[in-house]
């Protein structure tokens, strides 16, 4: 440990958090990875001024301050429930490293409340405490948390964390750009400009289909059983019991429309489509799900059935 870290460690005022860090190290058998986490956590804790949560940070791809969402309101309880389910995914913690091949950790504070554009489900604002200290504040809309299905909330949390990562690491001050919140369109442009060359020249959309989509899909797949109730699963797997929640095959027309042929619900397909929800306004999205295509038809229909079947 550095001298500063040792001072923090030995300060009785930090006893609670140090105990949590010791427990974490014990649980990980003092692995080199866990020691690295603890060191960076202490540095982040000291510099950020945030009240970072050891347990949630250790299971997340970034250091997390949950103090603003730790109350007993229905939306806070629901948010924490979904977040805990995400933490159970082994890939969630590694998702930024898996998507971006960058293992930097950064700091996030979660909030629930109003967002600038009242239609947006969440927004991520980079806040600068000093010239070198930036953290992201992710705000999720209160009624969105109350009304949305757990899978949709999980997807938005993942997307916002990616957004936060891009806010900090992908806007390069050396190029004269200031750190600022990225709109969704900027997000897509940022991804395209920064990651098109990840494995040599690639078409614009490949980053989302080859990297981001699979990682988000895998996270959601890992925690699928916890995100849906037995009743919700039954609705889509056995729609005939309800004479509803049917997924219809497309007609062989342009555009494809609903036929009366029922096709079985395929969870992997749903989760793939779900991983792109919220990216509809990106040009990259439209390259993946072209207008009048069967892929776009199924994207729409899977999410429509999900909106109805998972709403209660």
DSSP string, 76-136: HHHHHHHHHHHHT-HHHHHHHHHHHS-----EEEEEEE--SSTT-SEEEEEEESSSS-EEE
Q: Contacting another protein (CB under 8 A), which of 7, 88, 129, 311?
A: 311
User: Which parts of 35-94 interact with another protein (CB under 8 A)?
Assistant: none
What tokens were used for 147? 């009304």
Tell the residue number behind the tokens 């390259």, with chain if given: 287
- Among 70, 184, 209, 221, interactor with another protein by CB under 8 A: 184
Nearer to another protein, 15 or 283 (CB): 283
31-39, 190-198, 200-208, 258-266 -> range binding another protein (CB under 8 A): 258-266
Using the minimum distance from each CB to another protein, give the nearer residue, 42 or 158: 158
- Exactly one of 101, 237, 280, 290 binds another protein (CB under 8 A); that residue is 280
In whole angstroms, what separates CA 260 from the centre of its chain? 36
Q: How far is Cα 214 from Cα 204, in angstroms, rounded to an integer?
A: 16
- Give how far the C-alpha of residue 292 lies from the chain's centroid of Cα atoms, to the nearest Å: 29
Whether omega for the bond prior to residue 255 falls within 30 degrees of 0, making it cis, is yes
Other C-beta atoms lying within 10 Å of the C-beta of residue 278: 19
Residue 212 interacting with another protein (CB under 8 A): no
Q: Which is nearer to another protein, 5 or 120 (CB)?
A: 120
Nearer to another protein, 103 or 259 (CB): 259
What character string, x for contact with another protein (CB under 8 A) and - otherwise, covers 228-247?
A: -------x-----xxxx-x-
The distance of closest approach from Cβ of residue 65 to another protein in the complex, given in angstroms and rounded to an integer, is 20
Q: How far is the CB of 279 from another protein (least distance, A)?
A: 8
| CB of residue 126 to another protein, shortest distance in Å | 15
Checking 55-61 for CB contacts under 8 A at 24+ apart, the result is 55/20, 55/24, 56/83, 56/87, 58/24, 58/93, 59/87, 59/92, 59/93, 60/86, 60/87, 60/92, 60/93, 60/161, 61/92, 61/93, 61/94, 61/95, 61/96, 61/97, 61/105, 61/161, 61/165
Closest distance between another protein and the C-beta of residue 174, in Å? Answer: 27
Q: How far apart are CA 241 and CA 128, in angstroms?
A: 54
Q: Which stretch binds another protein (CB under 8 A): 77-85, 189-197, 208-216, 249-257?
A: 249-257
Residue 267 touching another protein (CB under 8 A): no
CB of 104 to another protein, least distance (A): 21
Q: Give the footprint of another protein on this chain (CB under 8 A).
A: 117, 119-123, 143-144, 147-148, 152, 156, 159-160, 163, 183-184, 235, 241-244, 246, 248, 251, 253, 255, 257-260, 278-281, 300, 304, 307-308, 311-312
């Amino acid at each position: 440990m550095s001298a500063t870290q040792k001072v923090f460690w030995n300060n009785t005022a930090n006893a609670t958090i140090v105990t949590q860090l010791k427990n974490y190290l014990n649980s990980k058998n003092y692995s080199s990875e866990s020691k690295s986490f603890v060191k960076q956590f202490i540095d982040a804790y000291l510099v950020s001024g945030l009240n970072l949560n050891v347990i949630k940070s250790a299971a997340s791809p970034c250091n997390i301050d949950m103090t603003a969402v730790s109350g007993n309101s229905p939306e806070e309880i629901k948010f924490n429930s979904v977040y805990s389910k995400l933490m159970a995914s082994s890939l969630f913690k590694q998702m930024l490293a898996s998507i971006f091949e960058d293992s930097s950790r950064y700091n996030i504070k979660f909030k629930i409340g109003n967002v600038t554009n009242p239609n947006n489900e969440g927004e991520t604002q980079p806040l600068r405490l000093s010239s070198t200290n930036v953290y992201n504040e992710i705000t999720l809309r209160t009624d969105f948390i109350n009304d949305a299905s757990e899978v949709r909330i999980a997807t938005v949390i993942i997307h916002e964390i990616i957004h936060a990562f891009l806010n900090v690491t992908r806007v390069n001050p050396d190029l004269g750009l200031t750190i600022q919140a990225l709109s969704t369109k900027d997000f897509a442009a940022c991804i395209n400009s920064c990651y098109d060359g990840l494995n040599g020249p690639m078409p614009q959309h490949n980053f989302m289909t080859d990297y981001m989509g699979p990682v988000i899909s895998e996270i959601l797949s890992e925690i699928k059983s916890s995100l849906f109730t037995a009743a919700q699963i039954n609705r889509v797997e056995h729609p005939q019991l309800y004479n509803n929640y049917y997924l219809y095959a497309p007609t062989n027309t342009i555009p494809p429309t609903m036929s009366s042929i029922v096709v079985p619900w395929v969870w992997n397909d749903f989760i793939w489509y779900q991983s792109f929800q919220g990216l509809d306004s990106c040009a990259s999205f439209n390259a993946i799900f072209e207008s009048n295509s069967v892929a776009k038809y199924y994207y729409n229909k899977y999410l429509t059935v999900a909106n109805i079947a998972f709403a209660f």
